[in-house]
Amino acid sequence: MSARGPIEYRDASSEIRAVFDDIKRTRQVEDVNNFWKYLAHDPATLKRTWESVKETMTPGALDAVTKEMIYLAVSVTNGCGYCIASHSAAARKAGMSEKMFGELMAVVGMANETNRLANGYRVPIDAAFDR
């Protein structure tokens, strides 16, 4: 655990509270996750990161569960323990079934394997891919 600790709503400046309020309203939750309580040590990064996450995670051409599964695929590849836990929960909340999780993990595993086979065999890019 960090020595710096989370910043709770009751101890937060009005600048931080404004971000926390927007997270709670947008996500319909009673409290924000630890991630935001720690980022609050740098209010500028808290605000910029939340606004970027909100913009990129809003359903568009991709729906919410697909976006959460992509987030999870990246987090699993990077081995970020916090992010795997939080985005597993978020993806399930957005509708990821256990069967979908299993298939997601199978693809993530194979992609990490074949990325290294392509590296090691030094495979040149097929001309057809750029057509």
| 121 lies in the binding site for a second copy (CB under 8 A) | yes
Select 18 or 74, whichever has its Cβ closest to a second copy.
74
Q: Which of residues 52-111 bind a second copy (CB under 8 A)?
A: 52-53, 55-57, 60-62, 66-67, 69-89, 97-100, 102-111
**CA dihedral sign, ordered 121, 107, 82, 66:** positive
Sorted by sequence, the CB contacts under 8 Å of residue 56 that are 6+ apart come out as 67
Per-residue mark of binding to a second copy, 7-26 (x: CB under 8 A)? --------------------
Pattern of binders to a second copy over 43-62, x per CB under 8 A? -xx--xx--xx-xxx--xxx
Q: What share of the chain is helix, strand, coil (3-state, %, to 5)?
A: 70, 0, 30
Cα–Cα dist 12/114, whole Å = 47
